[in-house]
Amino acid sequence: MFPGQFEYHRATSIKDALDLLKQFGDDAKLLGGGHSLIPMMKLRLAQPAHLIDVTKIAELCAIGESNGKIAIGAAATHDTVANSSLVRAKLGLLAEAAAAIGDVQVRNRGTIGGSLTHADPAADYPAAALALEAEIRLDHEGGSRTVKAADFFLDLMTTAVQPGELLTQVSCAPIPSGTGYAYLKHPHPASGFAMVGAAAIVTLDRNGKFATVRVAVTGLGPKAFRANAVEAALAGKAADAATITAAAAKSADGIDALADIHASADYRAELARVYVRRAIQAAVARAKA
């Protein structure tokens, strides 16, 4: 198995990548770690005539803190994000999601920008990005725009990224101390992709009631989503097991659950209820600790 023919270009800067994108238009695809694109090219599901490798652009590989936010370059690998001391200290949820991706070889190659743009319905990052209310920077010739995670995922493998745009950075406000979080998934036994994954971020008030709750689910439907019904059912309530279980029961409400040879829609919906409950419980336990 090998891909069709193409020309390989290694972009040296964001501007260089954007110029190449403009020059080759629809014939070009950006190349991150290649761990979604190369398999698709081997199957000839994608046959770009030009690949623009963005992983050697130094700016895109950096992780840093600026204006009170943690900014992660689009070409940072899953392994880099999972092991970054800054991400682990201030965006633990994102580090946990990164560490849960595939296996070490996949994490050593795949990038956060590639994963978010590919928007596989079973990808791990989207749930974390939604729960963290991440902001995603997209650069185009002559400018850039910022898209909220909530507006980024549009449908199955479809995002807000437009032709001519390059995802350059993902930024999130650091998780405040006293906040509990967890990302838990039921991995597919072969690939490791999430059959269902759940991200939860909670803070409790002085009386042990939910002050903030953000819950996001991946793997269940065509795109990752914020579980609004679950969040509403928890807001202001006591963080006890019965309340959490009752709220988590709403995890799949209104979602057109995916069904394939690996899992029926009903099974995925049940996984969502179970993993959302466990993720909230784990987040609550950490918030109390």
Partner 1 sequence: MRVNLTINGHPRGDEIEPRLLLVHYLRDVAGLTGTHVGCETTLCGACTVLLDGKAVKSCTVLAAQADGASVTTVEGLAKDGGLHPIQEGFWEEHGLQCGYCTPGMMMAAVDLLSRTTNPSEDEIRHALEGNLCRCTGYQHIIKAVQYAAEKMRAAAGR
Is 102 a binder of ligand FAD (CB under 6 A)? yes
Instruction: Round to whole Å and give the CA distance between 120 and 178.
Output: 32
Is 219 a binder of ligand FAD (CB under 6 A)? no
Is 3 a binder of ligand FAD (CB under 6 A)? no
Instruction: Round to whole Å and give the CA distance between 289 and 281.
Output: 12
- Hey, what are 134's tokens? 């991440």
Count other Cβ atoms within 10 Å, centred on residue 254: 9
Partner from partner 1, ligand FAD, none binding residue 54, C-beta < 5-8 Å depending on class: ligand FAD
Is 261 a binder of partner 1 (CB under 8 A)? no
The count of chain residues that interact with partner 1, using the rule CB under 8 A, is 29
Contact of 29 with 46, CB cutoff 8 Å: yes
Could you give the 3-state DSSP secondary structure of residue 207? Answer: coil
Question: Interface with ligand FAD by CB under 6 A: which range of 32-40, 80-88, 174-182, 274-282?
Answer: 32-40
Partner from partner 1, ligand FAD, none binding residue 190, C-beta < 5-8 Å depending on class: partner 1
- Nearest-CA neighbor of 119 among 47, 194, 223, 34? 223
Pairing of strands 225-226, 210-218: antiparallel
- Letters for 162-201 (x = contact with partner 1 by CB under 8 A, - = none) are ----------------------------xxx---------
Name the residues that contact partner 1, by CB under 8 A.
1-8, 10, 31, 34-35, 38-39, 42, 51, 53, 55, 79, 102-106, 108-109, 190-192
